[in-house]
Chains A and B, each alone.
Chain A
Amino acid sequence: MRLKMMNKSNFIVYSCTATIILGWWLFAFYATGHPLPPIPNPQVRIQIPNSTQWEQATLRDALLGDTVLMRQYLLLWDEENKLNQTAYLSPEELNRALQLCDFEASPTAHAERFFPQTFNAASFLLALVGKDQICSLPEGLRRHTDLYPDEICATIPSESNRHRAEILSQQNPKAAFVSNYSDPYTIEMLQQQGIAMIALEAENTLEAIQNGIISVGAVTDRMEKAELLTLFVKAAMLTIDHRANYVMGQRTGPVVFVYYQMGLQVPTSKSLTGYLLKRLKVDVAHNPIGWRLPMSEEKLIAASPESLVIITDDPSTTHSQLFLSPALAQLDAVKQGRFCYIANHIQHQSNQFIVLAYLDLVEALRI
Chain B
Amino acid sequence: MKWLFPIIFVLVAIGTCITGDIPWSSLWQEALMRIAGTSQKWNALLDERVPRLLILLLCGASLATAGAVMQSLFQSPLASPSVLGVSAGGSLFAIIVLSLQWHLAYPAIWPLAAVLGCLLTLLMVYFLAMDRGQMQIPLLILSGVAVSTLLLTLQSVLLYLLRDQWQLVMTIREWEVGSTLNRSWKQFHLMAPLALVGLYGCWHYRRELDLMSLGDEEAENMGVDVRKVRWRLFLCIALLTGGVIASLGIIAFFGLVLPNLLRLIYGPRNQILIPQCMIVGSVTLAGMDLILRLMEIQWMTIGNVSAVIGGIFFMGLLFKNRYRFAWS
Q: Which residues of A contact B (CB under 8 A)?
A: 10, 17, 20-22, 24-25, 28-29, 139-140, 143, 261-264, 289-290, 293-299, 301-302, 313, 317, 320-321, 324-327, 329-330, 344
Contact = CB atoms under 8 A, between A and B. Distances in A.
Contacts of A297: 44, 48, 182
Contacts of A313: 167
Nearest to B22: A302
Nearest to A302: B21
Binding site of A, secondary structure by majority: helix, strand, loop or mixed? Answer: helix
Contacts of B174: 261-263, 294
Task: Give me the 7 closest cross-chain CB pairs, A-B, nearest first.
Answer: A28-B189, A302-B21, A140-B164, A24-B193, A25-B108, A327-B42, A21-B193
Binding site of B, secondary structure by majority: helix, strand, loop or mixed? Answer: helix
Contacts, number: 89
9 contacts: A20-B193, A21-B197, A25-B108, A294-B174, A294-B179, A298-B21, A298-B44, A324-B186, A330-B41
B184 interface: yes
B189 A327 contact: no
Contact of A296 (B48, B163, B192, B228): B48
B267 interface: no
Nearest to A328: B42
A143 B182 contact: no
A296 B42 contact: no
A208 B228 CA distance: 66
B182 A29 contact: no
Contacts of B268: none
B171 interface: yes
A262 B171 contact: yes
Contacts of A294: 174, 179, 181, 298
A277 B167 CA distance: 21
Contacts of B42: 301, 325-327, 329-330
A330 B185 CA distance: 17
B181 A296 contact: yes
Contact of B47 (A261, A293, A320, A327): A327
Q: Which of B174, B181, B185 has the most CB of A within 10 A?
A: B181
A91 to B, nearest CB: 44
Given A294-B298, A301-B42, A326-B42, A263 B182 contact: yes
